[in-house]
Structure 1
């Protein structure tokens, strides 16, 4: 798809936008059955509900440690003055997770930095060879999985995602309670689909099949103006 000089159209019926966006959302879902692990690894983002979900799993006994990772990313650097990891850790403490059970990696700005910094932290804590329960947003789970298998091939992990549907996410963004707009949420879905296509050739993710219907949906949404989270140095995909 060539986006050079593309105009922002956004004239598509909202129901059709939702249909296409739901294809991208459901394509990214990649969760496992819950099992006890030595520690949880929680990737930060603008969605604080992930921190609440991790705290709930801790209280239920699924792990005895929580590692929150994330500095300030593309979106959160304009929302907050504290790192994603620090913000999520504060939420977890408010949800009855003891500070002694929490580890923080609060310097990384992207997933690759997340992984490098987490490896160092877990080694210091004697957890580098333990099984991890990775906590993610459902629409980021597949990308996180193939990034971990590529950049940390020896890691033993499972993924559990916030148990919400596309409709529930869309309603949250439409309600005004979310920290970003629904337009930007859909732009994230488009951008992550593009990254699943581009990043394997750069050695940043393992290859993953993208069904033609999913790629076509991403292209159509990009033509409709959902482009904020596309890679700036890629003109054709």
Structure 2
């Protein structure tokens, strides 16, 4: 399997796209991708909810990009897209998807239906996490309708995107065993695509300390 074909397999696996329905709130998960905030604004203007929560502190990919934090940057973008400030809440502490969900659940404990907006390639992981961490809410997970070709950004290029998808697949396996999310069944072709990309060196986002490279040698991610 070629690298591009393998990357597309992971892209399609991670991108689930629920159809948004009228909900109590729209929750935008902070990240390096400001297009998520614009998509939240679009759903708001379509009348699917009358308030938005942006959640996220700053991580390795966003500490320099958004000095005031992801949630504040997303709020500013939504305001630029015409959302009134009174309709926006900010959760500025979360540093991972589990915290995004749990901290927002604490803010709106009576919510029954929630639209989660994230990057296309983070949708499946978000869905599996909310099922575990906020099981009594009806969660609809969606994202901007970007393609694999248009998803890379100047500060997060195609290699970074592929590494992110590889790392997130590893996390889904690990986090389900740790009880952070529900189990996700991974088809054989997706496993094969993952193995192809790891052997090709797309390992920057892996949590595992050691793996076998394409020569059969055991190496750490930093050695590739």
TM-score normalized by structure 1? 0.84
2:150 match: secondary structure:
helix
CA contact (8 A) 1:133 1:158 kept: yes
Which of 86, 89, 94 is the matching residue for 1:103? 89
Q: Does 1:37 align with 2:23?
A: yes
Kindly tell me: are residues 207 and 234 of structure 1, through their superposed partners in 2, closer, same or farther at Cα, counting changes over 3 Å?
farther
Name the residue aligned to 1:138: 120
**Distance in 2 (alpha carbons) for counterparts of 1:161 and 1:120:** 23
Compare the two structures and name the one with the higher helix fraction: 1
Deviation at 1:135, TM superposition (A): 0.9
Confirm whether residue 215 of structure 1 aligns to residue 191 of structure 2.
yes
**Mapping of 1:55-134 within 5 angstroms?**
55-123=41-109, 128-134=110-116
Structure 1 runs of 4+ aligned residues shifted over 6 Å read none
1:44, 1:25 → 2: CA distance?
Answer: 19
Counterparts of 1:55 and 1:218, CA distance in 2:
34
Instruction: Name the CA distance, whole Å, in 1 between partners of 2:111 and 2:19.
Output: 20
- Identify if the C-alpha distance between structure 1 residues 109 and 234 changes in structure 2 by more than 3 Å, giving closer, same or farther: farther
State the alpha-carbon separation in 1 of the partners of residues 154 and 185 from structure 2: 31
1 or 2 for the larger relative contact order (CA 8 Å, sep ≥6)? Answer: 1
Distance (whole Å) between structure 2 residues aligned to residue 183 and residue 103 of structure 1: 33
RMSD: 1.7
- Which runs of 5 or more residues in structure 2 are unaligned? 213-224
- Residue 17 of structure 1 is matched in structure 2 by 3
Structure 1 gaps of 5+ residues are 1-11
Are the aligned partners of 1:193 and 1:215 in contact in 2 as well (CA < 8 Å)? no
Offset, 1:80: 2.7
Give the TM-score normalised by structure 2. Answer: 0.89
| CA distance, structure 1, for counterparts of residue 211 and residue 101 of structure 2 | 28
CA contact (8 A) 2:166 2:198 kept: yes
107-116 vs 143-152, which deviates more? 107-116
Equivalent position to 1:194, from 145, 166, 170 = 170
1:50 aligns to 2:36 (yes or no): yes
Q: Distance in 2 between matches of 1:33 and 1:62?
A: 11
